[in-house]
Amino acid sequence: EHRNPHEPEFHQAVQEIAESVMPWYLAHEDYRKAQILERVTEPDRIISFRVSWETDDGDIRANRAWRVQFSHALGPYKGGLRFHPTVTQSVLKFLGFEQIFKNSLTGLPMGGAKGGSNFNPKGKSEREVMRFCQSLMTELYRHIGEDVDIPAGDIGVGTREISFLFGHYMRLQNRWTGVLTGKGCSFGGSAVRMEATGYGCVYFCEHMLNHHGEGLEGKCIAISGSGNVALHAAEKAVEKGARVVTLSDSDGFVYVREGLQQEHLEFVKDLKQNRRGRISEFAENYRGAEFHEGEDPWRVTCDIALPCATQNELQENDAEALIRNGVMAVCEGANMPLTAGAARLFAAHNILHAPGKASNAGGVAVSGLELSQNAMRISWSHDEVDSLLQKIMTEIHLSCVQHGTSHGRVDYVRGANIAGFKKVADAMLAYGVF
């Protein structure tokens, strides 16, 4: 606390990991003597800079941006960029810290980082977003590179923003390298990258249910968010025969009792990705869809909850409602969507709970595969990438089971934390003191 004042999200993320790895950590004298926990909680470096840009009306604006390069023990820094007014150094440190262990779990050679800006893309014209991205890259380019740090997308940063950023990097460096992931498929992007986080989350959820004698088919699922992760999680869940009854955005949630169909999802994809509209418009266009203004979807009756919007979106009273209504599993599509209190409640009630660093690792895993394809100057087909993604999610689930099982029950939070931490700790031990 005294080392990092005013960083509540970062404290929350460190506390969660420290609590679950502590007994295991204390039992390993070599890690303790090398002060691994103290060292891994201090980022390698944080770059903070001003981004000045011009609005369409000729006004000048200044935003703040950061790149938190947390750890490159396992490979070059890797993690997304987030554009949202709630972005602070604390939020990016929590995300960068989580990213270290998530990337470790994928089994691919990637370190942990995160970046972004408090820029709000909502209501900005395409030109304004382009100018902002170009101005941000004018500083960021000197800190990144295909063997140094490879950013990707996150909240508010999709294919459009990655394309502006990538185009400007190329212009500054006069080199085509895979320095960003999430690129368009016609210029170095990977098949399945867009879908990977949501699909991967559902693959993980299915493993978790199967491991406990259950399945996805016929299950009722509540999903929050209506962005990249939420929509692709919904798509895969529907394909697997589940009934997805909700989607949301920061204005409220939509409820469809009989379950969303692919046609509904296509409408929302176009609404969100092309027209940048609000989820309430979906309810206006489809009979049988109810819009609940200003509410989260956690009061509906469901078997499975997939929080796919943002951090701390599911709080203790939401967890109580879900438990009362008979939820059996919570699988995180977003990063740290549960408050510490909500997570404790699910654990106390033996509800299956997959932490984001395991269940949403599919996105960064396919980013890793995008880098391999760029380095080899080839592109794999949709089916090739999807089957690699499935294999990676299967292995992450196995690692959680291996490190988190006690008395026949899997503690996925502990399993993911120990499995992710161990590889990083072993690498740090091997490198000696730095």
Instruction: Show binding-site residues for substrate.
Output: 78, 99, 102, 153, 367
Residue among 63 and 359 whose Cβ is closer to ligand NDP? 359
Q: How many CB atoms lie within 10 A of CB 251?
A: 13
For residues 327 and 292, what is the distance between their CA atoms, to the nearest angstrom?
A: 21
Least Cβ distance, residue 197 to ligand NDP (angstroms): 4
Q: Judged by CB, which is closer to ligand NDP: 127, or 276? A: 276
Catalytic annotation on 114?
Answer: yes
> Which residues sit at the interface with ligand NDP, rule CB under 6 A?
84, 86, 153-156, 197, 225-230, 249-250, 308-310, 333-335, 360, 363
**Which position among 93, 114, 219, 422 bears the catalytic label?**
114
The 3 state secondary structure assigned to 377-428 is CCCCCHHHHHHHHHHHHHHHHHHHHHHHEECCEECHHHHHHHHHHHHHHHHH
Query: C-beta of 370: minimal distance to ligand NDP in Å?
Result: 12
Please, which residues bridge with residue 116 across strands? 66, 82
Antiparallel, parallel or unpaired: β 289-293 and 149-152? unpaired
What minimum distance in Å lies between the beta carbon of 31 and ligand NDP? Answer: 28
To ligand NDP, the closest distance from the beta carbon of 152 in angstroms equals 7
Helix (H, G, I), strand (E, B) or coil at 202: helix
Under a CB-based contact definition with an 8 Å cutoff, are residues 341 and 316 in contact?
yes
Minimum CB distance to ligand NDP smaller for 253 or for 421 = 253
Determine the length of the chain.
Answer: 434
Least spacing, CB of residue 84 vs ligand NDP, in Å: 6
Binding site members: 78, 99, 102, 153, 197, 228, 367
Tell me the pairing of strands 220-224 and 243-249.
parallel
Strands 289-293 vs 60-71: parallel, antiparallel or unpaired: unpaired
Alpha helices in 270-361 (DSSP H): 280-285, 316-324, 340-348, 356-359
> Which CB atom, from 53 or from 83, has the smaller least distance to ligand NDP?
83
Residue nearest to ligand NDP (CB): 227
Nearer to ligand NDP, 43 or 337 (CB): 337
- Which positions are catalytic? 114
